Amino acid sequence: MIISLVGGGGKTTTMFYIGRYFAKEGKNVIVTTTTHIVKPENYMDIYSAKELKNITFGEEPVVIGKDIGEKLSSPDIKEVEAFDKYADIVLVEADGAKRLPIKLPRDGEPVLPEKTDICIVCMGIDAVGEKISEKCFRYEIAKELFGWNKDHVLSTEDAARILTDKRAGFKGINNNKCVFVINKVDSEEDMKKALEVENYIKFFCKENGFDNFRVSITSYRENRAFCDFDFL
């Protein structure tokens, strides 16, 4: 199974949390990227899926990428798509957001493996109530997509619209199973906003005829971690 993570902030934290959960459950788990991820202490610098034939899995996911200094870059995407021959679960960070909480994709983004089974679309609730130019990666695309200028203040409805629009957060997902992750929900006020975003997500998904999704509201600071493992 290939699970790809896209969108704004929280992808890496969510990816490793899910990976460690399944590894501790006895699954053989690979974590990789089709863009870039921060280089962890332990990783494998490989170029071909065939190099995974004799790999030893344990209670931590095996991290794979090309060493380019402070980060790991993507192996060839065709090789990434073949990783699931050697693992039960392959988690792929398939998008970049420069650590900003919400993201609009340009042409060629996200970089989704064709064999993706499940997509996880991430955002940070700290985008809501702020100017799009301050909290959204590639905010300039919003003018064309939604008619918003750089001073537009993002509402909960706007956030849900970005996540569910097929030109934005939902780009390339098509009919894949999907989890929308709203993270950094660290206070009661954050939770109020997150629940509003969730309601708008449900509204827009129903409007688009899409029902194969979940919404997960998380806060790793408040120990409200991702828990929708039964859906994956």
- Look at residue 90 in the predicted model and tell me its pLDDT: 98
Angle between the 188-207 and 156-164 helix axes, to the nearest 10 degrees? Answer: 40
- pLDDT recorded at residue 47: 84
Q: What is the pLDDT of residue 94?
A: 97
Tell me the CA end-to-end span of the chain in Å, nearest whole number.
9
Q: What is the CATH number of the domain that holds 12?
A: 3.40.50
**Within a 10 A sphere around the Cβ of 202, how many other Cβ atoms?**
16
Structure confidence at residue 225 (pLDDT): 86
Asked if residue 232 belongs to a domain, the reply is no
Is 1:35 a contact under the CB 8 Å cutoff?
no
Q: What DSSP line would sit under 9-31, residue for residue? A: TTHHHHHHHHHHHHHHTT--EEE
The reply to whether 153 falls in a domain is yes
Work out how many domains the chain is built from and give that number: 1
pLDDT of the chain, 232 residues: tens digit per residue: 999 999 998 999 999 999 999 999 999 999 999 999 999 999 999 888 999 998 999 999 999 999 999 999 999 999 999 999 999 999 999 999 999 999 999 999 999 999 999 999 999 999 999 999 999 999 999 999 999 999 999 999 999 999 999 999 999 998 789 999 999 999 999 999 999 999 999 999 999 999 999 999 999 888 888 989 999 9
Cα–Cα distance measured from residue 133 to residue 142, given in angstroms and rounded to the nearest whole number: 10
Cβ atoms 166, 210 nearer than 8 A: no
Find tokens 């021959």 and name the residue.
85
Q: Of 116, 119, 103, nearest to 205 (Cα)?
A: 119
Residue 198 lies in a domain: yes
Q: What three-state secondary structure class fits 134?
A: helix
The predicted structure's pLDDT at residue 58: 94
29: domain range?
Answer: 2-227
Tokens matching residue 53:
């034939």
